[in-house]
Structure 1
Amino acid sequence: MDLAGQETGNPVLNFIKNGSLVLQIVIGLVAGIMLATIWPSAVSSISILGTLFINALKSIAPVLVFILIMAAISGHRKGTEIQIKPVLLLYVAGTFFSALVAVVASLMFPSVLNLQIESAQLTPPGNVLEVLRNLALSIATNPVQALLEANYIGILAWSIAFGMVLRHANNSTKVFISDFSDAVTAVVRMIIRLAPLGIFGLVATTIVESGAGELLRYAHLLLVLLGSMLFVALVVNPVIVFIKLRRNPYPLVFQCLRESGITAFFTRSSAANIPVNMALCEKLGLDRETYSVSIPLGATINMAGAAVTITVLTLAAVNTLNISVDFPTIVLLSIVSTVAACGASGVAGGSLLLIPMACSLFGISNDVAIQVVGVGFVIGVLQDSTETALNSSTDVLFTAAATLPKEQS
């Protein structure tokens, strides 16, 4: 067992180190509400907990994005795209259409957040041409400067470039990159284990400064998120499967949600749900050579739920800042959300750390975007569980859609 999961003789310490993060976040949420209600004057002394948590996320997020995407591309095996090309196409299509659903839902039911904004932090683009111009300038920046300034578009471009070149590196180099990626992910896990304390400080401070009504905005945001994910699971995915198989998709959809999605909802980890998905693929009689590759790969890059989360929270920030968006920018956001989702970390709440990348399309500074990430952690008890359930169940669904014959009943 690693150090983070090491048992101690103290049951309280064991719960803090190894207990359910969901339960701990709920405790932090409730404790923050109670403190702000019963003893508001004490909130100022614990507000630093939320600030430290946000600052830690802001510091590690650029490194996480860079190394995860570079490691994913450099570790891609030659020839795999031929073997499972239909599955990969479904993965990408499903993630992209999920982002579009999130855009429509966000525009129909706009959310407003309580963000601390300075005028100098906001430089919204005027139109899509300006967005493209800013993209080009961001891509051409120094990679080290991109990391230091949290220029996520530059980080994305350079990580893809390095990843493509490193695909031809020797195995020892790829192992080093993979180990470094695991190390960064482990650091993120440690920071996320502190989420209950951060949320305790954030919620208490929010209630004291903005009132309890601010939590209702979180409820609205959560409804938009969960509604979008349910629509993807029950409408978009079935349509994609029907187009592929030309038969009623719902028996397969419900079986995947029941036997894979429910487990993933409680484990909150696509990686941990891989054995469940492999067993379900075997039960469905799918080709072992295909699903033995597509299921682990899907746990990394098939992230429809993450695309919804990134898009909805980004547009909530855009709406809060009164930034106008046009159709080309919406499509561009969906593409960026799709790429970002494919690089989402496998840890609980990992997709939230990619929100600043999407926010940068609209000139939203990293300081403001990280506040949106903090909001995501507040609602993450349900958001992340539902996101993981959608992501993991879709791995099996699209593997089956790509490999089952159309005429099979």
Structure 2
Amino acid sequence: MLKALLDWFNRTSLVLQIIVALILGGLVAWLWPSAAQPVSLLGTLFISALKAVAPILVFLLVMAAISGHRPGQETQIKPVLTLYLIGTLAAACVAVAASALFPSVIHFREMPEVQGVPSEISQVLISVLKSAFDNPVNALLNANYIGILVWAIALGIALRHASASTRTMVDDFGQAITVVIQSVIRLAPLGIFGLVVSTFSSGGLEALKDYAHLLGVLVGCMVFVALVVNPIIVWTQTRRNPYPLVLTCLRESAVTAFFTRSSGANIPVNLALAKKLNLDEHTYSISIPLGATINMAGAAITISVLTLAAAHTLHISVDIPTAILLCVVSAVCACGASGVPGGSLLLIPLACSLFNIPNDVAMYVVGVGYVIGVVQDSTETALNSSTDVLFTAAACRAAERKAGLEVPRI
């Protein structure tokens, strides 16, 4: 029996295993809810393993890529960053338009206690700058990916002048940690099984009924961006049918991101997918961890929709210039949102200040965000994280097309 199970595990694709885990997890949560606590340990351990290995993985891969970069060797970092910014701003515009077409009203309950909420955009930018100049050891310990990237790039540039054997050693360390993370990812079906059981047996889904309309607008915007806006952006780069690439990224990145609810924890999954897609390692080793910190289309949607829901609740009129300003503010705030569960919610009061919405009311909105977070935050992270790979692949494919190379089919 065990041998047959191991044989099936070895010859079956990871995606099919994850689908089976999703189905089994839902059945266990429904038929055997008492098993939720022990089974959920599988999900906890899986997320912990991803979070533990991701910082050192990013540090070593980026440092190895920079140190091994030779003069004249092209990367696609600038095009990827441009796509990140365009995608985030487009998502904010979609959210504002959807909120105007389908306005939501919030029925407040209890006032939540939330700490550390920024009051100005300058505070968000200052926080990003502080993260960039963090102590390297502290950055690794706290998974501060902005700080990790800064130190990895700096050391990588310095190591360009090192001996060939030193650069080879750094690259070998990067390959070694890659083997470790591949082993962790192979355990994804077990981890997702535990996460599904924990999510659907917690009873938290009952609380979503009161906010069905608001949640529908949020999720609808994210689905629209994933299946309409992003494919259009990808097509402008590749001039080919974008959906095979879009669906591959959703299938192999968005599913795990949905349940881990952390862009940082999903970095190893995205790096493995980028390698599977045969993308340029010098590009994706930097763009993927960078995207986990600044490519936040889902966060821009959350900030815009919940802010406008508060405005509609208070009967505040929203004119076109203010709506445009909200799009820009939401996109900027989203880039400063932390890649952890609920990171975008703490920036809602800042956006609410555009409409002079009282801070107490803004805090209620944040509380509503935490109530619906079991679906909202999961969907947001799935969009954010899968788009990191999607836009990196689009930029790489565009470069191959312009160079006259044959673009591989998905």
Scaled by the length of structure 1, the TM-score of the pair is: 0.61
1:107 and 2:70 matched: no
Match of 2:82 in 1: 89
Shift of 1:178: 3.8
| Residues 84 and 290 in structure 1, CA contact (< 8 A), matched pair in contact too | yes
Shift of 1:116: 7.5
| Residues 88 and 300 in structure 2, CA contact (< 8 A), matched pair in contact too | yes
1:152 and 2:145 matched: no
Q: Report the secondary structure of 1:113's partner residue.
A: coil
Shift of 1:108: 0.5
Match of 1:380 in 2: 373
| Residues 257 and 381 in structure 2, CA contact (< 8 A), matched pair in contact too | yes
Residues 22-49 of structure 1 show CA distances to partners (whole Å, capped at 9, x for unaligned) of: xxxxxxxxxxxxxxxxxxxxxxxxxxxx
Residues 149-180 of structure 1 show CA distances to partners (whole Å, capped at 9, x for unaligned) of: 952345236546x65xx96x6xxx54387479
Residues 183-209 of structure 1 show CA distances to partners (whole Å, capped at 9, x for unaligned) of: 9xxxxxxxxxxxx9xx999x99xxxxx
**Bigger Cα displacement from structure 2, 252-261 vs 265-274:** 265-274
Pick closer, same or farther for the CA change 1:291–1:338 going to 2, 3 Å. same
Pick closer, same or farther for the CA change 1:150–1:93 going to 2, 3 Å. closer
Residues 110-149 of structure 1 show CA distances to partners (whole Å, capped at 9, x for unaligned) of: 00012379xxxxxxxxxxxxxxxxxxxxxxxxxxxxx999
Pick closer, same or farther for the CA change 1:344–1:17 going to 2, 3 Å. farther
Distance 1:102 1:327 in 2: 14
| Residues 98 and 305 in structure 1, CA contact (< 8 A), matched pair in contact too | yes
Q: Specify every segment of 5 or more residues in structure 1 that has no aligned partner in the other structure, as ranges.
A: 1-10, 22-77, 118-146, 184-195, 205-214
Residues 194-252 of structure 1 show CA distances to partners (whole Å, capped at 9, x for unaligned) of: xx9xx999x99xxxxxxxxxx65500001001100000000000000001111110110
Distance 2:282 2:92 in 1: 30
| Residues 253 and 385 in structure 2, CA contact (< 8 A), matched pair in contact too | yes
| Residues 274 and 299 in structure 1, CA contact (< 8 A), matched pair in contact too | yes
Distance 1:17 1:247 in 2: 42
| Residues 75 and 280 in structure 2, CA contact (< 8 A), matched pair in contact too | no
| Residues 150 and 366 in structure 1, CA contact (< 8 A), matched pair in contact too | no
| Residues 269 and 346 in structure 1, CA contact (< 8 A), matched pair in contact too | yes
| Residues 281 and 291 in structure 1, CA contact (< 8 A), matched pair in contact too | yes
Q: Specify every segment of 5 or more residues in structure 2 that has no aligned partner in the other structure, as ranges.
A: 1-33, 45-65, 145-198
Distance 1:235 1:152 in 2: 32
Q: 2:298 aligns with which of 297, 305, 309?
A: 305
Match of 1:175 in 2: 136
| Residues 264 and 388 in structure 1, CA contact (< 8 A), matched pair in contact too | yes
Q: Report the secondary structure of 2:104's partner residue.
A: coil
| Residues 280 and 396 in structure 1, CA contact (< 8 A), matched pair in contact too | yes
1:229 and 2:222 matched: yes
Shift of 1:391: 0.8
Match of 1:316 in 2: 309
Aligned residues: 286
Shift of 1:298: 0.9
1:102-251 equivalences under 5 Å are 102-115=95-108, 151-156=119-124, 158-159=126-127, 163=130, 174-175=135-136, 178=139, 216-251=209-244
Distance 1:392 1:157 in 2: 22
Distance 2:371 2:109 in 1: 17
Shift of 1:403: 0.9
Distance 2:326 2:336 in 1: 15
Q: 1:269 aligns with which of 262, 272, 295?
A: 262
Residues 268-300 of structure 1 show CA distances to partners (whole Å, capped at 9, x for unaligned) of: 222221121111111111000110111111111
| Aligned-residue identity in percent | 60
The amino acid across from 1:374 in the alignment is G
The amino acid across from 2:343 in the alignment is G
Distance 1:219 1:277 in 2: 31
| Residues 112 and 217 in structure 1, CA contact (< 8 A), matched pair in contact too | no
Match of 2:252 in 1: 259
Scaled by the length of structure 2, the TM-score of the pair is: 0.61
Shift of 1:348: 1.3
Shift of 1:95: 0.6
